[in-house]
């Protein structure tokens, strides 16, 4: 009976050694080296920041549902569309200014009669008004 119990003990530890990578000598050595490198972080309580960062990343992943992705995609598309439109308008205006002769003062007034020009000027003036209002509020604070 003693022989069978010692054989059973030997067979139980062999599969445990084969299944558990923690009992491997190289893994144990690697864990010791890792603990030596992490020790200053743990002692200085800076490892908490790493855990907080991982928690934040996990919360971010949880937060990204389909609706959030759709909103981000829409915002991205609108931003790219706006940048594209502004770039096209700037290139067209630059080309027109380079190829057409410089208008006279009366020519500028005649151009101001164009509805698209007035719409653009109105936008620019409204934009500048909002910018000025924000600058004024910043000074008062």
62-116 pLDDT, tens digit per residue, is: 888 888 889 999 999 999 999 999 999 999 999 988 998 988 999 989 999 999 9
Report field, pTM of the whole predicted structure over 0.75? no
**3-state per-residue secondary structure call for the chain:** CHHHHHHHHHHHHHHHHHHCHHHCHHHHHHHHHHHHHHHHHHHCCCHHHHHHHHHHHHHHHHHCCHHHHHHHHHHHHHHHHHHHHHHHHHHHHHHHHHHCCCCCHHHHHHHHCCHHHHHHHHHHHHHHHHHHHHHHHHHHC
pLDDT in tens, 114-132: 999 999 999 999 999 999 9
């Amino acid at each position: 009976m003693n022989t069978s119990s010692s054989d059973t003990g030997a067979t139980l530890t062999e599969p445990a050694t084969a299944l558990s990578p923690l009992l491997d000598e190289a893994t144990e050595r690697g864990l010791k080296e890792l603990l030596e490198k992490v020790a200053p972080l743990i002692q200085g309580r800076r490892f908490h920041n790493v855990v907080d960062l991982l928690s934040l990343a996990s919360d971010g992943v949880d937060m990204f549902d389909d609706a959030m992705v759709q909103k981000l995609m829409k915002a991205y598309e609108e931003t790219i569309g706006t940048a594209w439109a502004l770039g096209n308008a700037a290139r067209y205006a630059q080309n027109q200014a380079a190829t057409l002769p410089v208008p006279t003062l009366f020519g500028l007034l005649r151009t101001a009669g164009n509805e698209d020009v007035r719409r653009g000027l109105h936008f620019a003036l409204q934009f500048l008004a909002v910018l000025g209002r924000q600058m004024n509020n910043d000074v008062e604070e």
